[in-house]
Amino acid sequence: MAPGSLKVKMKMKKGCRRLSIAGFFLLALTALAGLAYVCQDFIVFQPNAVPLDDEMAKVPHENVYIYTKDGVKLNLILLPYTEGDSPAPTTILYFHGNAGSIYGRVFNALQMLVKLKANVVLVEYRGFGKSEGTPSEEGLYRDAEASLDFVMTRPDLNYTKVVLFGRSLGGAVAVRLASVNPQRVAAIIVENTFLSIPHMAATLFPFLPMRLLPLWYYKNQFLSYQQVAQCHMPSLFVSGLSDRLIPPAMMKQLYELSPAKMKRLAAFPGGTHMNTRICPGYFPALEQFIKDMLKSHALEDIGQTSAPSNSSQILN
């Protein structure tokens, strides 16, 4: 065999070997991406049923069951505020995070009832707790719509004073609900939530090329950074600066993207992802926001459309 032919064959073998290795890695990445796509629901949604303990069971509350437009039966818990003289207190529609159930949030809701002097309605997403169905992004949006419909048609709840509250994943649900219901939502409060699921994927897996994946790859997207641009109602962004799960910078970005005339960013240096609510000044910040929101609405009712002078603030 001629020396030239031997060299050509050796180069071809090396080239084939490189192609084989590249093909293997491409196949492995494709398989990994496919597995990740299938597993997305298990990563985003982590439901479990946590029953009320004996003490919480003594709290006056009403278990409510409603149906979504696609026929899924949901469980809500209504904590009515009955202590004040006001005939129509604010109603807080509470959207929890991606894990557990509403039963683990009853104590927090009770704190809101007492400290904010408001009715609180806790929403149990499909597939969580006592609610039927299987969770999905579109499903949670339908659950939120059905819950708002319930509040709007409940005769003992003032439909003009509905405030959406969402923590973590619940913040994304609240933002989306507010964005498509501007006339039915008085205000929103979101706490330690994210810009979108693709943004979170890039944050949690920086060693993988998540930013290169197309948007359609994500079964659940929760594009709050886009939807918040449609939320012109008073908005409070609560950020725990010690949050190790969701970067606090995302909360600041949502605040900056908000077009609301009355908006605030309440930042708590010691606040972690789930425990910002125990930081000093947390409930006073929520209480002051709701008071100013109601004042703003009262001014609008008498023909004055300007918000209070402290309409845009960063609180520390």
* 300 pLDDT above the threshold of 80: no
- Is the pLDDT reported for residue 208 higher than 80? no
The angle at the Cα of 106, spanning 165 to 240, to the nearest 5 degrees, equals: 50
Residue 307 has pLDDT above 80, yes or no: no
CATH 3.40.50.1820 is held by the domain 50-315: yes
Read off the pTM: 0.83
Q: The tokens of 211 are what?
A: 């930013």
Which of 46-50, 94-98, 241-245, 269-273 shows the lowest mean pLDDT across its residues? 46-50
Mean pLDDT of 33-60: 65
Q: What is the pLDDT of residue 50?
A: 59
17-26, 151-160, 247-256 — which is least confidently predicted? 17-26
φ and ψ at residue 67, rounded to 5 degrees: -120, 140
Q: How far apart are CA 269 and CA 45, in angstroms?
A: 28
Q: How many CA atoms lie within 13 A of 59 on its CB side?
A: 23
pLDDT of residue 297: 77
Residue 190 pLDDT > 70, yes or no?
Answer: yes
* Whether residue 234 has pLDDT greater than 90: yes
Which tens digit of pLDDT belongs to each residue from 163-182?
Answer: 999 999 999 999 999 999 99
Backbone angles phi, psi at 124, to 5 degrees: -100, 110
pLDDT(6) > 80: no
Tell me: pLDDT of 25 over 60. no
Cβ count near 92 (within 10 Å): 26
The more confidently predicted of residues 260 and 40 is 260
- Tens digit of each residue's pLDDT (9 = 90 or more) over 61-116: 899 999 999 999 999 999 999 886 666 899 999 999 988 888 888 889 999 999 99
User: How much is the average pLDDT of 197-221?
Assistant: 80
Supply the residues annotated as catalytic.
168, 243, 273
- Tell me whether residue 109 is exposed, middle or buried, using C-beta atoms within 10 angstroms of its C-beta: 0 to 12, 13 to 18, 19 or more: buried
* 256 pLDDT above the threshold of 70: yes
In order of 161, 178, 187, the CA distances from 255 in angstroms are: 22, 15, 14
Which range (112-121, 211-220, 263-272) has the least confidence? 211-220
Please compute the mean of the pLDDT values over residues 265-279 and round it to a whole number: 95
Which pLDDT value is given to residue 122? 96
